[in-house]
Chain A
Amino acid sequence: MQVYSAPLRDMQFVLNELHTDDGFGDLSAFAEITPELAEAVLTEAAKLCENVLLPLNRSGDEEGCHFENGVVRTPAGFKDAFRQFVEGGWNALVLPAKWGGQGLPEALGKLVEEMICATNVSFSLYPGLTNGAIAAIDAYASDTLKETYLPKMVGGEWSGTMCLTEPHCGTDLGLLRTRAEPAGDGSYKVSGAKIFISAGEQDLTDNIVHLVLARLPDAPRGVKGISLFLVPKFLPDAAGAWSVRNGAHCTMIEHKMGIKASATCQMLFEEATGWLVGEPHRGLEAMFTMMNAERVGVGIQGLGIGEAAYQSAVWYAKERVQGRSLSGTKHPDKPADPIIVHPDVRRMLLTIRAWNEGCRGIAGWISRALDAEKHGETPEVRQRAADLVALMTPVVKALFTDLGLESASLAVQCYGGHGFIRESGVEQYMRDARIAMLYEGTNGIQALDLVGRKMPAEMGRYLRSFFHPVSAFIEENGGEGAMAPFVTGLKRAFEALQGATAMIAERGMKDPEEAGAASADYLRLLGLVAMAYTFAKSVRIAQARLAGGEGDLAFYKAKIDTARFFYDRLLPQATAAFLAIKAGKASIMAMDEAAF
Chain B
Amino acid sequence: MSSIATEPVRKVCVIGAGVMGAGIAAQVANAGVPVLLLDIVRDPADRNAVAAGALKRLQKAEPAAFMSKRAAKLVEVGNIEDDLARVAECDWVIEAIIERLDLKHALYEKLEAVRRPGTAVTSNTSTIPLGHLVAGRSEGFARDFFITHFFNPPRYMRLLEVVAGPASDAALVARISDFADRALGKTIVACKDTPGFLANRVGTFWLQSAVNAAFDLGLTVEEADAIAGKPMGVPKTGIFGLVDLVGIDLMPHLKASLTSTLPADDPYHAIAIDHPLITRMIGEGLTGRKGKGGFYRINREAGKRREAIDLASGEYRPQAKPASLPSAAQKDLKALLALPGKAGAYAWAILGATLTYAASLLPQAADDVVAIDAAMKLGYNWKYGPFELIDRIGGADFVARLEADGKAVPEVLRIAAGRPFYRIEAGKRQYLGLDGAYHDLVRPDGVLLLEDIKLGAKPIIRNASAALWDIGDGVAALEFTSKMNAIDGEILKLIGQAVPLVASKFKALVVYNEGSAFSAGANLGLALFAINIAAWGEIEKMVSGGQMALKALKYAPFPVVAAPAGLALGGGCEIVLHADAVQAHAESYIGLVECGVGLVPGWGGCGEMLARWQAAKGLPKGPVPAVSKVFETISTATVSKSAAEAMDLGFLRPTDGITMNRDRLLADAKARALALAEGYQPPAPPTYRLPGAGGKAALELAVAGFRARGMATPHDAVVAGHLADVLTGGEADLVDTVAEGDLLALERKAFLALVRHPGTQNRIEHMLKTGKPLRN
Contact = CB atoms under 8 A, between A and B. Distances in A.
Q: Do A and B bind each other?
A: yes
Interface of A: 380, 458-461, 463-464, 467-468, 470-471, 497-498, 501-502, 505
Nearest to A458: B765
A460 B535 CA distance: 13
Given A458-B765, A460-B528, A498-B534, 19 more contacts: A459-B532, A459-B765, A459-B768, A459-B769, A460-B529, A460-B532, A460-B533, A463-B532, A463-B533, A464-B531, A464-B532, A464-B534, A464-B761, A471-B534, A497-B533, A498-B533, A502-B530, A502-B533, A502-B535
Given A458-B769, A459-B769, A467 B529 contact: no
B583 to A, nearest CB: 36
B267 interface: no
17 contacts: A458-B769, A459-B528, A459-B532, A459-B764, A459-B765, A459-B768, A460-B528, A460-B533, A461-B761, A463-B532, A463-B533, A464-B534, A464-B761, A467-B532, A470-B534, A471-B536, A502-B530
A502 B537 CA distance: 14
Interface string B268-305: 00000000000000000000000000000000000000
Task: Report which residue of B529, B531, B768 has the largest number of chain A beta carbons within 10 angstroms of its beta carbon.
Answer: B529
A147 B771 CA distance: 44
Interface in B739-776: 758, 761, 764-765, 768-769
Nearest to B535: A498
B259 to A, nearest CB: 45
B758 A380 contact: yes
Contacts of A459: 525, 528, 532, 764-765, 768-769
A486 B252 CA distance: 79
Contacts of A467: 532-534
A491 B698 CA distance: 42
Task: Report which residue of B531, B532, B536, B768 has the largest number of chain A beta carbons within 10 angstroms of its beta carbon.
Answer: B532
A505 B529 contact: yes
B532 A461 contact: yes
A380 B528 CA distance: 18
A497 B533 CA distance: 9
Interface in B26-43: none
Contacts of B535: 498, 502
Nearest to B534: A471
A470 B528 CA distance: 17
A578 B529 CA distance: 19
A497 B536 CA distance: 14
SS class, residues of chain B in contact with chain A: helix
B773 to A, nearest CB: 15
Contacts of B764: 459
A501 B534 CA distance: 11
The list of the 5 closest CB pairs from A to B, nearest first, reads A471-B534, A460-B532, A463-B532, A467-B534, A467-B533
A446 to B, nearest CB: 20
Given A459-B525, A460-B528, A502-B529, A468 B534 contact: yes
Contacts of A463: 532-533
Contacts of B536: 471
Nearest to B528: A459
Interface string B514-537: 000000000001001111111110
A501 B529 CA distance: 9
Contacts of A497: 533
Contacts of A505: 529
Contacts of B530: 502
Contacts of B765: 458-459, 461
A505 B536 CA distance: 17
B776 to A, nearest CB: 11
Contacts of A470: 534
B483 to A, nearest CB: 12
A468 B755 CA distance: 12
A471 B768 CA distance: 24
A380 B776 CA distance: 13
A432 B769 CA distance: 44
A161 B331 CA distance: 47
A328 to B, nearest CB: 50
A463 B535 CA distance: 12
Interface string B466-501: 000000000000000000000000000000000000
Contacts of A501: 533
B599 to A, nearest CB: 16
Interface string B355-393: 000000000000000000000000000000000000000
A380 B758 CA distance: 10
Contacts of A461: 532, 761, 765
B713 to A, nearest CB: 15
A150 to B, nearest CB: 32
A63 to B, nearest CB: 51
Contacts of B768: 459
Contacts of A464: 531-532, 534, 761
A461 B769 CA distance: 11
A207 B535 CA distance: 54
A461 B761 CA distance: 9
A505 B523 CA distance: 15
A464 B755 CA distance: 12
A498 B528 CA distance: 13
Nearest to A470: B534
A464 B530 CA distance: 10
B30 to A, nearest CB: 39
A321 to B, nearest CB: 51
Contacts of A471: 534, 536
B404 to A, nearest CB: 34
Contacts of A458: 765, 769
Nearest to B761: A464
Interface string B549-590: 000000000000000000000000000000000000000000
Contacts of B525: 459
Nearest to B758: A380
B70 to A, nearest CB: 42
Nearest to B768: A459
Task: Report which residue of A380, A458, A459, A460 has the largest number of chain B beta carbons within 10 angstroms of its beta carbon.
Answer: A459
A470 B536 CA distance: 13
Contacts of A498: 533-535
A503 B530 CA distance: 12
A502 B525 CA distance: 12
Contacts of A468: 534
A45 B373 CA distance: 80
A471 B535 CA distance: 9
Nearest to A472: B534
A293 B112 CA distance: 86
Nearest to A467: B534
A464 B533 CA distance: 6
